[in-house]
Amino acid sequence: MKNPRLVFPLLAVIALTIAAAPAFADVAYENGPINGQVDAWTINFGFVVSDSFTISTGNTAITGLSFGAWLFPGDVLQSVEVSLTSEEFGGTVYFDGVVNFVQSGCFLNSYSYNVCTETGSFNGPSLDNGTYWLNLENAVVNNGDPVYWDENSGIGCHSPGCPSEAGPGGEGTLPSEAFTLLSGGTTSTTSTTSVPEPSSVMLVASGALGVGGILLRKLRQVR
């Protein structure tokens, strides 16, 4: 199948630190700060994005997530289905739940999208040392618009095993996204039972692009 993807011209990298984790939490894994100016991947309308992460500190309880999101101005992210699995898009499912998020540190990027840090907590699993996958899908905003996960290619990451690999697969290593997994603290979540499925991803070009100019679409063949 083909995966449509919006490809933006390369601009100067703006290294904006992904918002500080809540005081009660420790960092289990981080894939670097939000970029906000290169590209982003759809995480609703049936699309799912999968990024690898590595646990290297022994048995670690995953209790929260912070990630970079691109939103249309005025949109507020309400929830995202978050899953932690043994393989890209699946395998053993260690956690699968709908997590509520709070956004902060928003700024308007060069394409008139609002780029925000989204932080949420949940009752996640305790994971031993190894490599796992974080999957985001079924994002919900206040008015039903698309939601995109910021691509940062792991630039500026410091955790063992970074930068993350990202899916959909079939093309080798793809650029990965901005996120931090947290451990420790009080958590809450709404559980679901669905398992993420591979999907195409697309940054939808519609309305309010302002200074975006002409956007190019590139089709990649994925096995």
Q: Please tell me the predicted confidence (pLDDT) of residue 173.
A: 58
Q: Please tell me the predicted confidence (pLDDT) of residue 206.
A: 37
**Mean pLDDT lowest for which of 1-10, 86-95, 108-117?**
1-10
Q: What is the pLDDT of residues 13-50, one digit of tens each?
A: 333 333 334 445 799 999 999 999 999 999 999 999 99
Task: State the Cα torsion 90-49-43-57 to the nearest 10°.
Answer: 80
* Residue matched to tokens 């601009």: 11
Q: What is the pLDDT of residues 168-185, one digit of tens each?
A: 644 445 799 999 999 985
Q: Please tell me the predicted confidence (pLDDT) of residue 168.
A: 64
3-state helix/strand/coil string of the chain:
CEEEEEECCCCCCCCECCCCCCCCCEEEEECCCECCCCEEEECCCCCEEEEEEEECCCCEEEEEEEEEEEECCCCCEEEEEEEEEEECCEEEEEEEEEEECEEEEEEECCCCCEEEEEEEECCCCEECCEEEEEEEEEEEECCCCCCEEEECCCCCCCCCCCCCCEECCCCCCCCCECEEEEECCCCCCEECCCCCCCCCCCCCCCCCCHHHCCCEEEEEECC
Q: Please tell me the predicted confidence (pLDDT) of residue 184.
A: 85
Q: What is the pLDDT of residues 126-151, one digit of tens each?
A: 999 999 999 999 999 999 999 999 99
Q: What is the pLDDT of residues 150-161, one digit of tens each?
A: 999 999 999 999
Closest CA to 208 of 74, 102, 15, 95: 74
The domain spans of the chain are 2-221
163 contact partners, CB below 8 Å, separation of at least 6: 31, 32, 153, 154, 155, 157, 176
Q: Please tell me the predicted confidence (pLDDT) of residue 210.
A: 34
Extract the tokens encoding 115.
């780029």
Mode of pairing for the β-strands spanning 26-30 and 130-141? unpaired
**Does the structure show a pLDDT above 50 at 197?**
no
Q: What is the pLDDT of residues 69-95, one digit of tens each?
A: 999 999 999 999 999 999 998 899 999
20 contact partners, CB below 8 Å, separation of at least 6: none
Largest CA distance in the chain: 48
**Does the structure show a pLDDT above 90 at 66?**
yes
Q: Please tell me the predicted confidence (pLDDT) of residue 129.
A: 98
Report the predicted TM-score, pTM, of the whole model to 2 decimal places: 0.75
